[in-house]
Structure 1
Amino acid sequence: MGLAKDGQSLNSTDNTFVAVEFDIYSNGYDPRGEHVAATGNASAMHTIHTWDFRSSLEDTTMAGSPSPNSAPNQRKNKRLGLVVGLGVGGSILLGVFALILFGFWKRNRRDAEAEEDLALDRYMDDEFQRETWPKRFSFNELAYATKNFNDEEKLGQGGFGGVYRGLLRGSNSFIAVKRVSKGSKQGIKEYASEVKIISQLRHRNLVQLIGWCHERRELLLVYELMPNGSLDSHLFTEESLLTWAMRYKVAQGLGSALLYLHEEWEQCVVHRDIKSSNIMLDSNFNAKLGDFGLAMLVDHVKGSQTTILAGTRGYMAPECFTTSKASKESDVYSFGIVALEIACGRKPIKPNAPEDQVVMVEWVWELYRIGKVLEAADPRLGGDFDVQQLERLMIVGLWCAHPDRNLRPSIRQTIHVLNLEAPLPILSSNMPRPEDFAPAMNRHSMSSLSMSNIASDYGGR
């Protein structure tokens, strides 16, 4: 800090201030002896580790001490000036310290973020086999493609983040970019899981992963763009209507995707989040299953794996709540719920429906019991559907959504029925309750998870 001009005499009568200097340059007005002086026109960088200052109002180390014969009010003014000077000087000094500390914090934060990015890269490099993975994009490339993730390009918002439409400059092709929210529960592990699993899968009814990006602490996944959006946007909105032929083709396509995941690939893949919003439709309204953030690999023989509770209520099998096990059977349960959604044109839980229709499975099963299952058909179809197909899809939906996992069909059996290659199953007249099949020690918790009791969790979703 420069507190006086070069050549200015240090006169405490004319220039009443106190200077605390932390630097190395000796100005002409600096007192001789132990001091740290200013740099003048030169420049320097310093780090202050500690400092100490002691003084009294009667004692001064500055040259030109006041005369002992000074008037009392003059001394008082000078003392006041000293106090003010100390206050101002201290404030400036604190400001300098704050700037220094802020600089250290900024630098440390940049270093920490750079270290995190490097750690992420190392982790991903270990996880991804680069010679087989899709393309790695740069953040700038994807930001440009999505107009810097403009809301106008947003296709939807899920629990893990937003999905944006993008246009790649090089190939002039449209893409869908999933930007994982930084505050999302889907972290690096889930991001890596999705890339590792889906990038190895090749099936006409699975969304194709084009590339990925982890840069600037961002996690981005790049998919082929599905022009007709998600299945739920057509089933639950008035603006769009799928014909029955389209719906039945979607159900068959989803079944084909699950058959590939469960039985035809080299490892068994349990998706764990099958729902209508994760089923995308291409330009020809073919179904493509996406969002493998919760997917896991299990042994073909074992067929299940204990894990943390994950998925979407209404689509999750009852046993998931008590055993925390994900399995092919729990995926089949979710398939059954989607099959009923396709046929009925409604969500699994509908709080504003009549009391006996709030829970879709219970409502359709009761209609099955009295032989009027067709009354559950989506009224928007106006009766324009294939009766045999509709009946099969509804009964298959109930079969797959059976509370007892051991009484559900495999996805292969399901496809045979949908393709008219096997007869319809005969279900019990009354819908079994989950607690009827739970181990004795779990029956209390199981009964509290009946479909009727979880309806309140949904609100209007």
Structure 2
Amino acid sequence: MAPRRLLLLAVAASLGAAASAAASVDYTPYVRASVCSDSNYTDGSPYEVQLDNLLHDLRDGAIGNGGFFQTDKGHWPTQVYGQAMCYVDCDWSMCEFCLQVAPSYVMTKGCPNNKRGAVMYDCCYQRYSDEQFFGHADFFEHGMNAQGGSNGDDAVPMNKTMWELVTGLIAEAAGSPRRIANGSQTYMDSRGNSQVMYGLVQCALGFSPRECTNCLNTTLASMPGNATTAKFRRYGCYITHAPDPIDVSTPRPQSAGGPRRPNRRLVVAVCAASGSVFLLICISISVRLLLRRPERRTNSPRVSIEDDKAMEDEFREGTGPRRFRYSELAAATGNFSEVKKLGEGGFGPVYRGFLKDLGIEVAIKRVSKDSKQGRKEYASEVRVISRLRHRNLVQIIGWCHAGGELLLVYELMPKGSLDLHLYSADNVLWWPVRHRIVLGIGSALLYLHQEWEQCVLHRDIKTSNVMLDASFNAKLGDFGLARLVDHDRGSHTTELAGTLGYMDPECTVTGRASTESDVYSFGVVLLEIACGRRPTTARPNGTLIHLAQRVSELHGQGRILDAADPRLDGNFDLQEMERVLVVGLWCACHDQSLRPSIRQAINVLRLEAPLPERMPPVGQAAGPLPMPDSDSTGHSSSSTQQLI
């Protein structure tokens, strides 16, 4: 098996109550309204970059600021303004999750390529524009209206009470620092019984008292009445009333819980299940791996001072990552304290640290210099990833090799690796989050294969190498096995590399890595995300079956959606799920020439191109094995993950 490499940016931050809510299916944000402009930006333009940064800043700012935030990014002519707000009668965990989901939806579905847009969910909204709009109560005609429980006999006293209650709350909210007011008022119904009406009004914190009053009064004028309950939401203000008390949510304090350790168990898996082809592959892999073991045990020379200087000179030719002093990184980690350790792997541990001069938390990989392979992958990380810039790639911040140490410093990924969430026994990763992760991985791979100055072959794409930031945005990491090739070359002959179950079967025999072999691994990851299952699973008789074979069989029977993760309980977009499964099969077909390019795959995933008319074969039939309710050893079973 390829060397065990320390888990890149292993789980770092606590998965407190907010994270649990974000990963569960108890609440599904629902899009209530959207407004988009006719003015467009182009993919990859400076405006898109600023917009992406802005939307995520809005999310983080609103979560950290009690549910409201507005800011701007860039300078004219690519300057963009944005605002995000939670509706305060939603539970805070729902509000927080709503804010986390909003940025991806706005750019991919809500208002794709629009320079101005606003998307309203049931618990929050997010709005942006290339023109300044802060403090302006506009968009009166856009929003969500909902009424229920009409009562004709009591319409007159009920409407009169609603008007008096809401107008009083409007005046109160306009003068409140929080721009929120809630209260109640009693009235007598037609039978002489006392009734209570509860109300709540809210304005954006950025509104002046006058603009707040203007927005709420305009909204009130559009409410027809004759209803016991009503919710009228606008971009900047909100009115609701009901016969039951209306609670105002309170943002929860940040959890101080410790980091979760990654799953470090290994499983020897094969790329296919049955048939002579897969048996030959397994034999080939086993022989090659066994032949390599003695060499690894005897070849671990200490790195010389001359090698250190040569490597340092080469690193300094690049741009981007900073060289740190060993003392800085030791101080950042409490002298590499066990308390700060996030994981342990074949080439050493990963620590959580805080860089005081930069004011940021980081993950620090400590590589053993006694390991020849570890030193080789350390150099590859710095040479390759330090030159790459993409929002879906883990960013390397710096490096250090001094005092007998090899150290790499990365941005911290608070949610850890994707596999930990896919197979969590406590929470189910919600489908829109999974779909956003799929598009993020695809975007990263498109950049590596086609959009950078050279073609980057990652060679180890798997769910444990997909890291998640605080909002579950995917970032592809671990470039220790990556290789650079010219775009007109497209392949690289090398020793066997990667993780069994994700490796292209042809690559395991020829040793030739290519963009097609990366696409194969991408396909396996897509199937894993959609099905919630490991790449291989055991039949009752002990033989192994590859996930792609079973999904292919269901596709042939016209039942491909039966392969969806049963823990989602059908809560997914049917078209999105079908496309992820079909593209996963297309990428994982055994004939490299029939696989799509990463751009073709992404176009289908984004609904910009049709599904392939015919599906190439992925191997022999899987047989009558049904898709189980869980893996043969459960979701916490051994994985193909290697600690890197």
| TM bracket, shorter-chain basis | 0.5 to 0.7
Residue 313 of structure 1: SS of its match in structure 2?
A: coil
1:148 aligns with 2:326: no
> 1:116 and 1:398, CA in 2 relative to 1: closer, same or farther beyond 3 A?
closer
Identify the residue that residue 127 of structure 1 maps to in structure 2.
314
For the pair 1:177 / 2:361, whether they are aligned, the reply is no
Q: Give the equivalent residue in structure 2 for 1:400.
A: 587
1:296-342 Cα shifts (integer Å, max 9, x gaps): 00110110010011110001001111211010000000000100111
Provide the rounded CA distance (Å) in 2 between the counterparts of 1:416 and 1:377: 21
Kindly provide the CA deviation profile for residues 226-270 of structure 1, in whole angstroms up to 9, marking residues without a partner as x.
Answer: 111111110012133321000000000100001100000000000
CA displacement 1:137-196 (0-9 Å, x = unmatched): 122221221223333323334444332211112223100111224554533332111101
Q: 2:548 aligns with which of 358, 361, 383?
A: 361
Q: How does 1:5-404 map to 2 (within 5 A)?
A: 116=303, 118-130=305-317, 132-182=319-369, 184=371, 186-351=373-538, 358-404=545-591
SS at structure 2 position matched to 1:167: strand
Counterpart CA distance in 1 for 2:426 and 2:403 is 39
SS at match of 1:288: strand
Q: Structure 1: which amino acid aligns with 2:467?
A: M
CA contact (8 A) 1:161 1:184 kept: no
Does 168-177 or 265-274 show the bigger shift? 168-177
One-letter amino acid of the counterpart of residue 513, structure 2: A
CA contact (8 A) 2:303 2:370 kept: no
Match of 2:638 in 1: 460
Task: Kindly state the Cα deviation for residue 390 of structure 1 after the two structures are TM-superposed.
Answer: 0.5
Identity of aligned residues (%): 60
Q: 1:131 to 1:299 in 2, by over 3 A?
A: closer
Unaligned ranges ≥5, structure 2: 1-301, 622-631, 640-644
**TM-score, structure 2 length as denominator?**
0.48
Say if 1:227 and 1:283, in contact at 8 Å, map to a contact too: yes
Indicate if the aligned counterparts of 1:249 and 1:286 stay in contact, CA closer than 8 A: yes
Cα deviation, residue 410, structure 1: 0.2
Structure 1 pair 150–199 and aligned structure 2 pair: CA distance change class (3 A): same
TM-score when scaled to structure 1? 0.66
Counterparts of 1:184 and 1:339, CA distance in 2: 33
Mapped to 1, the partners of 2:411 and 2:307 lie a distance apart of: 25
Query: In 1, Cα distance between the equivalents of 2:608 and 2:347?
Result: 39
Q: Whole-Å Cα distance in 1 between the matches of residues 560 and 418 of structure 2?
A: 23
Helix, strand or coil at the partner of 1:333: helix
CA contact (8 A) 2:318 2:383 kept: no
- How many positions carry a matched residue from both structures? 324
Distance change >3 Å, CA 405–CA 417, structure 1 → 2: same
Counterpart-to-counterpart distance in 1, 2:616 and 2:541? 22
| Uncovered stretches (5+) of structure 1, i.e. residues with no partner | 1-114, 435-454
Secondary structure of residue in 1 paired with 2:408 = strand
Q: Kindly tell me: are residues 218 and 307 of structure 1, through their superposed partners in 2, closer, same or farther at Cα, counting changes over 3 Å?
A: same
2: CA distance, partners of 1:412 / 1:319:
22
1:403–1:433 Cα contact (<8 Å) kept: no
Query: 8 Å contact 2:318–2:387 — kept in the other structure?
Result: no
Q: CA RMSD in A?
A: 2.4
Cα distance, 1:350–1:163 mapped onto 2, change above 3 Å: farther
- Tell me which structure has the larger Cα radius of gyration: 1
Structure 1: distance between partners of 2:462 and 2:493: 21
Query: How far apart in 2 are the matches of 1:236 and 1:222?
Result: 28
Bigger shift: residues 168-177 or 268-277 = 168-177
- The alpha carbon displacement at 1:126 in A equals 2.9
Higher RCO structure, 1 or 2 (CA under 8 Å, sep 6+): 2
SS at match of 1:129: helix
Amino acid at match of 2:433: M
Greater strand share, 1 or 2?
A: 2
